[in-house]
Amino acid sequence: MHEADRSPPTEQYMITKEYFHIDGQWVAPQGKGAIDVFSPTNGALLARVPRGSVADAEAAVAAARKAFDAWAATPPARRAELLKKIQEGLKTRTDEIARAITLEMGMPYKLSQRIQVGSPTATFGMYARLLGDFAFEEQVGNSKVLREPVGVVVAITPWNYPLHQIAAKVAAALAAGCTVVLKPSEVAPLNAFALAEIIHEAGVPAGVFNLVTGFGPEIGEALVTHAEVDMVSFTGSTAAGKRISQLAANTVKRVALELGGKSAGIVLDDADFAVAVKGVVGNCYLNAGQTCTAQTRLLVPASRYDEAARIAAATAAEYRLGDPMEPGTTIGPLASKMQQDRVRDYISKGIAEGCELLAGGASLPEGLPAGGYYVAPTVFGRVDPRATIAQEEIFGPVLSIISYTDEDDAVRIANDSIYGLSGGVWSATDARAESVARRLRTGQVEINGGPFNIYAPFGGYKQSGNGRELGKYGLEDFLEFKAMQFKPPPKAA
């Protein structure tokens, strides 16, 4: 490993990554440019990573293609051993990687340890366990049905939960027997380099995992259009997902998309409002609202709107906005200046369209680090369901409270969206909440605050994407079916 690539993340000096991981080696990029990574805490230059070229994309795909046959033939038990080693490597470096993610994208450090590193660590372990009894073949009448790896997979991942999204794709693809080329977000790439080091040290065969960095229109599109790539798994904006689908169509490769969301948290009239409203606010503000499953629409009965508005505004005021490395911070900065400007623009639109500002807005508390990408936790009330802030994904700490007349009206409003990724229903009983949840056109629904489950399928309806990640469902997304028909034995005379 080169010394420049082993520098631990720190605020004192810029981190430089000079090499890609291709075909089991750390190699100099063929592209000559670099990408600057800025600290969301104060806007300072944090790191510099290589700007990959078409030639780098071709080299990474060639390495993955060369390694595919041997890796696909590797027994599942051996693949499981290597996934377990990767899990152990992540555990060993939890604090370091959590700190790097906090510095590059802004989630408070304590949350980064538990969520940004804890979740992907568990995901690698989960797939190691699933391989123990997963049926890669079964007998169906006179046919033997095989599940075989789809081939070379390109994984393009976002910045909001960078390592979690990498693990959801890479761990499942490796478990399935696929080889991988990873292009992480250029906004938060440092965690991907740490994972590449761990995979290298675990002894994963050369070419099975390859890492390149760069911009989407350059190296990203070169990867998506490459004839030797069999599948693209992408998490990001709906606009980028549509572009990837168009590009991939020319070679008819499989495309899995995890895109945007505008999820509704429905609080029914019999719910405990003190618990339920606070729960939806917390869901909305997790990771400064930069969560695709964030319940950014709080749906409450019109008869109890005032109570819900008071609780939501008071809950928002309890959040401490600040430096994500400070122990008392509960909500950090947004990941980029572009994101900060985008969210502020949506707040202005909400005010211009007549929504009632109950908390937050454009003003910021004193004492924040200068130059940071901060937005105050914001609550809008009396929001029309067709308002811009109620229809478009904001990706920031902005909650819209919408009132409904009855249960049918709540379901109608919740489903009135181009998205269908997640949601929540709160009631005095799980049974009533479930009856409403069954009517929602969305991929996941939290029942009375039920926690995230990495063994359950993750993905969305409508323009939230297609395909599923996590659990056995995520493994199956990276598999092809092959049916072999055998001639039945002759019948006895």
Which residues are catalytic, by number?
A: 258, 292
Angle, in degrees to the nearest 10, between helices 162-176 and 94-105? 130
Gyration radius of the chain over CA positions: 23
Q: How many Å apart are CA 294 and CA 136, to the nearest integer?
A: 35
Angle, in degrees to the nearest 10, between helices 76-92 and 118-130? 160
Q: How many Å apart are CA 294 and CA 401, to the nearest integer?
A: 14
Q: How many Å apart are CA 149 and CA 305, to the nearest integer?
A: 52
Token pair of 391, please?
């229809």
Give me the half-sphere count of Cα atoms (radius 13 Å) on the Cβ side of residue 175.
Answer: 35
